[in-house]
């Protein structure tokens, strides 16, 4: 028999680097992330193609999918109402989303 | 004479403007702006580097600070988030060495002697890795000093703030100490500094260059140790144990508005004593001395102390003593704004012999009452049960406006309570 994993270890695998943030956008609704959800993000980790990330762009905090398009890192939404955001030197990556929590009670 | 560059390799890591930096880390909109904390006390408890650049220092009243900088962002202290950051910072350090001394909430000493091969890195690189991990994962900066003794690491980390790194190897000691005033050396108090000055020692180097016999004539053991450390001889150990023994425990609380009502002020004091006792019992400590102090509305503080014949951490025993002190300290027609207590000369419980004149049954009774109190406290929160004399202080402890409460406590998640929250930092911005 293997050892058991606590819910906490499972949801927050890297505790020292994990943070919480409220989601307030429809931008990721096709990915199943809705306004009111809570994201657990990990800081200090480099994003990979397809990761959902939290970033700071033009004084705004956004949640998007990280994609390299034609060699440029971009932040994309699956909702066509939201334009593609291109990384520049002012873009700050706050973290990679590890877990989304929607708690009803 | 030791000639190697690194007979020992110690780090002193000091978080830059810690409390204010934590606020900037959880709220990206505050980055690059002058931010201070301490709103709940009306004084600047911590200032961000942007605020410091405008001349705002710790201890300045908020009123003065706002005059110096009309756009100043003033926040209440978020102790909970700050302590999460503190714990995480120490955890990150322990990735690199188990020998971490948590010197204060935002400072630590690390011993990394002999770890170059393990990490395949120079001492400098190890220090930079710790610094980078903290910056990347916590979003705050720390300054790091690398040297051969604790006293020298302290000097090194101070020299290059914020986000700095400075190394003092055996070979660099003289060059660096030439520029350091003796009184800026860690563990050299104002009196020692004055003594050194009178003997012609103004810089740390002049002190370090004295022959051992001259230093031994002038100073006692702690002073001689500083001299040894300045000369690169490490004599102060890096102490790893988590702090469970305290030399003293103090609790103080300001109330607004100030009050001249005796029973109210005494109730405040009793509540502080209860709090201090709770902490003492948690760490299995008993006090042999108690200090009480009252702070008047003009900010002048007056205190009295008493020896406790039978060391104790129980309000039932300490309050009668405090009451006597209070009676001689309290003046009518005087308004007070804060009370406080310090339990000192702590000893570990269990080592105490009852005195001849005590009723052993009473001791057992008091102990069992308080272990029941501590249990209730665990279940239902602090001050579920309290002395009747602190009743006045229980409800109206502070006329706190909502704006004085950290955001984290105002925006609870489903399932969180006022008392219990997830131990993760919450970004104070929404992902849009």
| Dihedral pair phi/psi, residue B182, rounded to 5° | -55, -35
Q: What is the pLDDT of residue B298?
A: 86
Residue A21 contacts B, CB cutoff 8 Å = yes
The predicted model gives A49-53 an average pLDDT of 96
The answer to whether residue A74 is domain-embedded is: yes
Distance separating alpha carbons of residues B312 and B363, to the nearest angstrom: 10
Q: What is the pLDDT of residue B371?
A: 72
The answer to whether residue A2 is domain-embedded is: no
The answer to whether residue A53 is domain-embedded is: yes
The answer to whether residue A97 is domain-embedded is: yes
Q: Which domain holds residue A77?
A: 7-101
Q: What is the pLDDT of residue B346?
A: 84
Q: How many domains does chain A have?
A: 1
CATH number for the domain harbouring residue A74:
2.10.109.10
Report the predicted TM-score, pTM, of the whole model to 2 decimal places. Answer: 0.72
Q: Which of residues 8-67 of B touch A (CB under 8 A)?
A: 26, 28-29
Six token digits for residue B58: 């710790």
How would you write the pLDDT of chain B (432 residues) with one tens digit per residue?
445 889 999 999 999 999 999 999 999 999 999 999 999 888 899 999 999 999 999 889 999 999 999 999 999 988 889 989 999 999 999 999 999 999 988 999 999 999 999 999 999 999 999 999 999 999 999 999 999 999 999 999 999 999 999 999 999 999 999 999 999 999 998 889 999 999 999 999 999 999 999 999 999 899 999 999 999 999 999 988 765 556 788 898 888 889 999 999 999 999 999 999 988 887 778 899 999 999 998 888 888 889 998 889 999 999 999 999 999 999 999 999 999 999 988 887 765 445 555 565 666 667 777 777 776 666 566 666 666 777 666 654 444 566 678 888 888 888 888 778 888 999 999 999
Q: For residues B229 and B235, is the Cβ–Cβ distance under 8 A?
A: yes
Distance separating alpha carbons of residues B262 and B336, to the nearest angstrom: 10
Q: How far is CA B156 from CA A41, B159, B184, B220, in A?
A: 35, 5, 12, 25
| Dihedral pair phi/psi, residue B210, rounded to 5° | -65, 145
* Tens-digit pLDDT profile for residues A70-92: 989 999 998 889 999 998 888 99
Distance separating alpha carbons of residues B298 and B301, to the nearest angstrom: 9
The answer to whether residue A71 is domain-embedded is: yes
Q: Which residues contact B64 (CB under 8 A, 6 or more apart)?
A: none
Residue B416 contacts A, CB cutoff 8 Å = no
The residue ranges of DSSP E strands in B313-355, in sequence order, are: 336-344, 347-348
Which residue of B lies nearest to A58 if distances are taken between CA atoms?
Answer: B29
Minimal C-alpha gap between A61 and chain B (Å):
5
Element at B327 (helix H, strand E):
helix B315-329
| Dihedral pair phi/psi, residue B96, rounded to 5° | -100, -25
At B290 the three-state DSSP class reads strand
The answer to whether residue A24 is domain-embedded is: yes
Residue A105 contacts B, CB cutoff 8 Å = yes
As a whole number of Å, the CA-based R_g of chain A is: 15
The answer to whether residue A70 is domain-embedded is: yes
* CA-based nearest residue to B145, from B164, B132, B162: B164
Q: Which residues contact B407 (CB under 8 A, 6 or more apart)?
A: B78, B426, B428
ipTM of the complex: 0.90
Nearest CB to A61; choose among B28, B88, B424: B28
Note whether A43 contacts B413, CB cutoff 8 Å. no
- Report all structural domains of chain B as residue ranges with CATH numbers, in order of start: 248-395 (3.30.1490.100)
Q: What is the pLDDT of residue B269?
A: 95
Note whether A61 contacts B138, CB cutoff 8 Å. no
Distance separating alpha carbons of residues B60 and B133, to the nearest angstrom: 33
């Amino acid at each position: 028999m293997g050892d058991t994993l606590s819910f906490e270890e499972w949801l927050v695998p890297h505790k020292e680097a994990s943070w919480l943030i409220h989601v307030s956008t429809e931008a990721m609704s096709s990915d199943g992330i809705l306004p009111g959800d809570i994201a657990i993000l990990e800081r200090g980790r480099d994003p990979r193609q397809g990761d959902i990330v939290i970033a700071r762009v033009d004084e705004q905090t956004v949640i998007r999918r990280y994609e390299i398009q034609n060699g440029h890192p971009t932040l994309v939404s699956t909702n066509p109402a939201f334009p593609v955001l291109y990384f520049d030197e002012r873009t700050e990556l706050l973290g990679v989303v590890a877990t989304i929590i929607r708690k009803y009670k | 004479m030791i000639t190697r560059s690194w007979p020992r390799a110690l780090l002193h890591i000091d978080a830059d403007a810690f409390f204010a930096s934590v606020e900037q880390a959880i709220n990206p909109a505050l980055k690059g702006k002058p931010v201070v904390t301490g709103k709940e006390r009306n004084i600047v408890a911590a200032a961000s580097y942007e605020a410091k650049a405008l001349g705002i220092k710790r201890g300045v009243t908020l009123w003065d600070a706002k005059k110096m900088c009309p756009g100043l962002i003033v926040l209440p202290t978020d102790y909970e988030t700050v302590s999460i950051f503190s714990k995480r910072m120490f955890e990150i350090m322990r990735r690199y060495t188990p020998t971490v001394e948590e010197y204060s909430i935002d400072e630590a000493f690390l011993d990394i002697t002999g770890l170059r091969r393990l990490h395949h890195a120079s001492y400098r690189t190890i220090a930079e890795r710790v610094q980078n991990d903290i910056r990347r994962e916590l979003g705050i900066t720390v300054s790091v000093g690398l040297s051969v003794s604790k006293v020298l690491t302290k000097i090194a980390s101070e020299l290059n703030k914020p986000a700095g790194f400075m190394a003092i190897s055996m070979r660099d000691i003289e060059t660096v100490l030439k520029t350091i005033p003796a009184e800026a050396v860690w563990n050299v108090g104002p009196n020692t500094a004055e003594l050194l000055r009178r003997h012609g020692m103004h810089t740390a180097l002049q002190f370090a260059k004295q022959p051992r016999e001259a230093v031994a004539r002038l100073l006692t053991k702690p002073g001689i140790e500083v001299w040894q450390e300045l000369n690169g001889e490490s004599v102060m150990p890096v102490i790893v144990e988590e702090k469970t023994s305290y030399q003293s425990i103090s609790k103080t609380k300001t109330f607004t508005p100030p009050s001249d009502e005796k029973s109210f002020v005494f109730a405040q004091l009793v509540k502080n004593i209860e709090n201090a006792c709770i902490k003492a019992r948690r760490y299995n400590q008993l006090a042999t001395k108690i200090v009480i102090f009252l702070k008047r509305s003009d900010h002048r503080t007056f205190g009295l102390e008493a020896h406790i014949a039978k060391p104790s951490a129980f309000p039932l025993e300490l309050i009668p003593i405090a009451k006597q002190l209070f009676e001689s300290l309290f003046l009518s027609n005087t308004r007070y704004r804060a009370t406080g207590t310090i339990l000192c000369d702590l000893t570990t419980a269990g080592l105490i012999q009852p005195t001849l004149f005590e009723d052993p049954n009473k001791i057992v009774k008091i102990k069992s009452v308080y272990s029941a109190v501590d249990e209730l406290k665990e279940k239902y929160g602090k001050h579920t049960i309290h002395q009747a004399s602190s009743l006045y202080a229980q409800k109206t402890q502070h006329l706190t406006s909502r704006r004085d409460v950290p955001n984290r406590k105002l925006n609870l998640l489903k399932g969180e309570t006022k008392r219990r929250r997830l131990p993760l930092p919450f970004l104070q911005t929404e992902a849009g």
